[in-house]
């Protein structure tokens, strides 16, 4: 059974192929994904690696957690399920819908 790992602290320049190649030292990598920011198109500095077994996942954690990768010290641990969050529209985020500022004492 595949085991998903969270990989944090990645360099913004790290590519998925490099992540997959490195983690293949610990066993068979089913997938390697770096999370990309929708607005900028840049890496968010974290991703997920799916190993083919629990044993290989544990070996990857031991090999890479708190070690240097692409010039950065990374965090590797078992991924947790994504928490459900309420859907937000532009008006829900700041409470003012993107309007505001200015002074109210001028009429």
pLDDT band at 26 (very low <50, low <70, confident <90, very high): very high
Q: 80 and 6 in contact (C-beta within 8 Å)?
A: yes
Give the chain's domains with CATH numbers.
3-79 (3.30.70.330)
Three-class secondary structure of residue 74 per DSSP: coil
Q: Higher model confidence: residue 4 or residue 90?
A: 4
State the pLDDT confidence band at 106, using cuts at 50, 70 and 90: low
Among 16, 84, 87, smallest CA distance to 48 is for 16
Residue 19: how many other CB atoms lie within 10 Å: 24
**CA pair distance 7, 67, nearest whole angstrom:** 11
| pLDDT at residue 97 tops 80 | no
Mean pLDDT of 85-92: 63
Check residue 56 and give its pLDDT.
Answer: 97
Q: What angle do CA 72, 76, 77 make, to 5 degrees?
A: 160
Q: What is the pLDDT of residue 100?
A: 54
Give the count of beta carbons closer than 10 Å to the beta carbon of residue 14: 22
Q: What is the pLDDT of residues 32-84, one digit of tens each?
A: 999 999 999 999 999 999 999 999 999 999 999 999 999 999 999 999 887 77
């Amino acid at each position: 059974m595949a085991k998903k790992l969270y990989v944090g602290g990645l360099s913004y320049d790290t590519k998925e192929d490099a992540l997959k190649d490195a983690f293949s030292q610990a066993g068979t990598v089913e997938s390697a994904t770096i999370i990309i920011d929708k607005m900028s198109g840049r890496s968010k500095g974290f991703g997920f690696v799916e190993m083919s077994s629990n044993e290989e996942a544990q070996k990857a954690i031991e090999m890479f957690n708190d070690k240097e990768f692409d010039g950065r010290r990374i965090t590797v641990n078992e991924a947790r399920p994504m928490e459900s969050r309420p859907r937000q529209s532009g008006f829900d985020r700041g409470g003012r819908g993107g309007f505001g500022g200015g002074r109210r004492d001028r009429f």
